[in-house]
Amino acid sequence: MTQTAIAPRPKKTILRALAGETLPVPPVWMMRQAGRYLPEYRATRARAGDFLSLCYNPDLAAEVTLQPIRRYGFDAAILFADILLVPQALGADLWFVTGEGPRLSTLTDAAGVQALRPAAAIHDTLAPIYETVRILRRELPADTTLIGFAGAPWTVATYMVAGRGTRDQAPAHAMMAADRQAFAALIDRIADATVEYLSAQITAGAEVVKLFDSWAGSLRGQDFDAFAVAPTARIVSALNDRHPGVPIIAFPREAGPRYVGFAAATGADAVALDNGVSAEWAAQNVQRPGPGGCVQGNLDPRHMVTGGTALVDETRRIIRAFAGGPHIFNLGHGITPDADPDNVALMVETVRSGAA
């Protein structure tokens, strides 16, 4: 009898979960795990001088990426960078205002879209980011997965149109309504650049990549299909062609019921969940056994501020809810600057104790 060869199982826990394996203890990492809640991050940022200088300094960007790994031993490190580096590489002006956040030159019409640099031209600007990835692959512990990332086209477009973050993404919706063809062209240009950017991260050593669609929740109906689902599917397909076997996590934040079927519609290997949906609902409607059924999430970040028994109880509840399928433990959004580092340690200890 001829025996079929069995492919070796990936050893890193996050890669195992993304391949569809249900693990007795879920791997854990945290969005924005390198950030202002850590005193060592604040010290390194002070050395860099400003946020963008930190992003574009490979040695310092690698250092802040490694800091939470040294402190907590997370199962993954996520590259320290920013989603707005791609529009900067496409030709937008980008700067950060202390206490207020990012600012960009605005893009509001077809002429602005046409003036953007071609996707293949972004690499000169973004070369320091790829060097950071290479440093991290050398420096990370052997059992730690390296995650690269980019902003999804809709979210990046909202910043490019408004020139800043907005509460309801009204400027992007207005451009979409005024000239849908031009807005669709902008989404396509960002998608092409995102493929180039993530592909270069993978070539440099990223083992997983994640698409952050932080403002997906403001899209409805056909707009969600056109500007959240379709661009993600396009990026996933292109990356699968270039880098077969590299997993992709999609995060259409605040998608609500549209989380259902999102992985299947886009080809993503996992869907990250915000804390606006319950783990019990997501376990029934989003998670499924086997490849393509992994979910990531979804502890409310406020527990990193308040801590205590509620943090432990919620962590255990989420683990119980997702115990029947592949799961990566994470927050439902990024950790906030006012979080207590001791609460992060308590969360990690609770996840790994297995006492769900």
Residue 99 has pLDDT above 90, yes or no: no
Look at the alpha carbons of 155, 158, 161, 167 in this order and tell me if their dihedral is positive or negative.
negative
For range 59-77, the mean pLDDT: 98
Phi, psi angle pair for 104, to nearest 5°: -135, 155
Distance, CA of 17 to CA of 326 (rounded, Å): 5
Alpha-carbon separation of residue 273 from 99, 197, 259, 280, 324 (angstroms): 28, 24, 8, 12, 17
Q: Which fold has domain 13-353?
A: TIM Barrel (3.20.20)
Q: Look up residue 190 and give its two tokens.
A: 């960002």
Active site residues: 32, 36, 45, 82, 159
Closest C-alpha to 348, from 276, 278, 299: 299
Q: How many CB atoms lie within 10 A of CB 47?
A: 11
Confidence label for 9 from pLDDT (cuts 50, 70 and 90): low
pLDDT of residue 3: 46
Residue 225 has pLDDT above 80, yes or no: yes
Q: Is 201 left (phi over 0), alpha (psi -120 to 50) or beta?
A: alpha
pLDDT digits (tens, 9 = 90+) for 181-213: 999 999 999 999 999 999 999 999 999 999 999
Residues 6 or more apart in contact with residue 78 via CB below 8 angstroms: 29, 31, 33, 34, 65, 147, 148, 149, 210
Distance, CA of 211 to CA of 297 (rounded, Å): 15
Distance, CA of 342 to CA of 265 (rounded, Å): 39
The answer to whether 188 and 110 are in contact (CB under 8 A) is no
User: What pTM does this model have?
Assistant: 0.95
pLDDT digits (tens, 9 = 90+) for 250-307: 999 999 999 999 999 999 999 999 999 999 999 999 999 999 999 999 999 999 999 9
Confidence label for 2 from pLDDT (cuts 50, 70 and 90): very low
The answer to whether 272 and 234 are in contact (CB under 8 A) is no
Residue 355 has pLDDT above 80, yes or no: no
pLDDT digits (tens, 9 = 90+) for 135-189: 999 999 999 999 999 999 999 999 999 999 998 999 999 999 999 999 999 999 9
Q: Which residues make beta-bridge pairs with 329?
A: 28, 297
Q: Which residues make beta-bridge pairs with 76?
A: 145
Q: What is the mean pLDDT of the chain?
A: 95
Residue 222 has pLDDT above 70, yes or no: yes
Distance, CA of 347 to CA of 326 (rounded, Å): 19
The answer to whether 325 and 50 are in contact (CB under 8 A) is no
Residue 7 has pLDDT above 90, yes or no: no
Q: Where in the chain are the domains?
A: 13-353
